[in-house]
Chain A
């Protein structure tokens, strides 16, 4: 048995995702990162919301929690606050992170709570049949944009950089080894960390947009992947179709939320209690 298989529950394999779907690659990369960091399976909890990427937790051999749409970060906040020493991972798709869950995303970044988030960006709502998402590129045809999508997409990592998240990285499923490395670094980061992974949904997004097999769609993603240095050299008008990859923002100075809480709130409260003669 491979060492990373220790973190996998095979259960109902073959896995529920379509042939060639990048979610399985992300699942493996996360398992490999757990292995490299040697965290005990019971000290990890993986939380996810609704969607294709939300089916990942049942296949991790750790504590796992599958919750309502868009709210995985709130459950993870409660767990992290109650048990700050545990590793809390959140897996979100397009809708969970950027549509219904958008508010919780920016608040988690603001709080710098030590949750490790993997944002699976495949540009579509796959589980529900292929409706557009806030991450669907403009002009694409989907089930709810039959005449072409007129809404520009969010650049999720850039939004998080603006929200001052203390660790933001982006990778794609074409690059499993850098993906693994960056996930491992994000797990080692103390504060709120997000790894946005560009993934391929050739069945729901690609098929309506001339990319109906995984190889073609992966090549399309590779064509849009650039390094940070290359991206900075592009003229602003050319940047729209490109995804810079790598660690995009890293701030190791900011204190993580539970550290702040234990460092300031509890001592201040206990000082106040002493002055007033104990808790009332």
Chain B
């Protein structure tokens, strides 16, 4: 019998992390994500697991990566300024192929910005924040039950593809108390990877496009893990062909498996003439707008992206074959709208409804913006 509870969004994410097997949390408090750290500080020790509040966000991700290499399933949670600090270590997680989940609860920015107000202004930073060429997986739930399932999916993807995964949320859903039915343990599937250190310590060796094998410290073979560019053994290298191969391996391990990574939801899209592209709190506001428009006979639908990065390019291009009007709705000064513009063919009328003043976009405003298409 599953349980219905009223829970804060942050707590839903934290509970889902425990259900996914998270046993290590290192974090630093920052509004509006501190509840996750506080919950973990109470619950992880009850299970005999590790919690530590580090001296800053940089130290938090450092400790997470260290624990991940030592065999733990790790998570941290932060917001804008902390996420900026974490970029260097996020890049290290990508370079050294280390599974971890980073929760970023988006608030008004840039810099200290609006600590207690929502935004969706870290979309591009999530993709490009860290330096160098790197792929990234980023998920963004909208509804309370999606927070639970997407958190578990974040852990599963990070274990499968041996990469950091960013779980994006916004301050609205993170702080809102909503009722949610917690799934039974038997109804969720948690991916556990097998540890498999090759005898010759060739820890990164595989074909281009293959999923990486799992390697940890203390499994009988002393391995080397490096933030420098390295060859298949992990030794630092500058040999051009090796560097190119490693770059390609890291890109392809994500881009070869888009079918397993990209997820989305659609509302009233079957006969839609106008598509709203949105995510998170803006997607939630779009649904009442669509209901209002449908009552007037206007054929409008919503494409809600659950996987933000890699961007659902193929999926959108499929829809652009018959839908020629798209409205990107986001709480920022224009970020994902550029992605939509990039993938939309020339005959598509692409517009955006944007705002970045800390107030979420309302269904009425979305309704008005869609009506503009029909003038």
Contacts and interface: CB of A to CB of B under 8 A. Distances in A.
- Is there direct touching of A and B in the complex, by C-beta distance under 8 Å? yes
Contact of A63 (B63, B222, B226, B236): B222
A64 B222 contact: yes
Output the residue of A43, A62, A266, A280 with the most chain B CB within 10 A: A280
A270 B58 CA distance: 30
Nearest to A84: B50
Given A45-B217, A74-B59, A81 B52 contact: yes
A57 interface: yes
Interface in B12-53: 15, 18, 24, 26, 42-48, 50-52
Interface string B210-221: 000000011111
B225 A68 contact: no
A273 interface: yes
B69 interface: yes
B52 A66 contact: no
Interface residues of B, number: 50
Contacts of A232: none
A41 interface: yes
Output the residue of A47, A57, A58 with the most chain B CB within 10 A. Answer: A58
A65 interface: yes
Contacts of B223: 63-64
Contacts of B157: none
B128 interface: no
Contacts of B263: none
A86 B225 CA distance: 17
B227 A68 contact: yes
Contacts of B219: 42
Identify whether the interface residues of A are mostly helix, strand, loop, or mixed.
helix
Interface in A214-264: 261
A42 B62 contact: no
A195 to B, nearest CB: 21
A159 to B, nearest CB: 16
Given A42-B220, A81-B63, A82-B67, A67 B55 contact: no
Interface string A68-90: 10010011111101110010000
A266 B24 contact: no
A128 interface: no
A202 to B, nearest CB: 25
Contact of B218 (A42, A47, A71): A42
Contact of B43 (A43, A45, A279): A279
A15 interface: no
B250 interface: no
Given A42-B218, A58-B235, A81-B50, A71 B225 contact: no
Contacts of A86: 70, 217-218
B222 A79 contact: no
Contacts of A74: 54, 58-63, 66
A67 B96 CA distance: 10
A66 B225 contact: yes
B236 A104 contact: no
Nearest to B26: A78
Given A77-B62, A279-B46, A64 B225 contact: yes
A269 B46 CA distance: 5
Please name the 10 residue pairs, one residue from A and one from B, whose CB atoms are nearest each other, closest first.
A74-B62, A78-B66, A78-B63, A269-B45, A75-B66, A78-B67, A82-B70, A74-B59, A82-B67, A79-B66
30 contacts: A42-B219, A42-B222, A58-B224, A61-B222, A63-B223, A64-B223, A64-B225, A65-B224, A68-B227, A71-B89, A74-B58, A75-B69, A77-B52, A77-B63, A78-B24, A78-B63, A78-B64, A78-B68, A79-B217, A82-B24, A82-B70, A82-B72, A103-B55, A103-B59, A265-B51, A269-B43, A269-B46, A270-B45, A270-B46, A279-B18
Given A65-B69, A75-B65, A81-B52, 20 more contacts: A43-B218, A45-B218, A47-B66, A63-B223, A67-B92, A68-B89, A68-B227, A75-B66, A77-B52, A78-B63, A78-B64, A78-B72, A81-B50, A83-B218, A104-B59, A107-B54, A265-B51, A269-B44, A270-B46, A280-B15
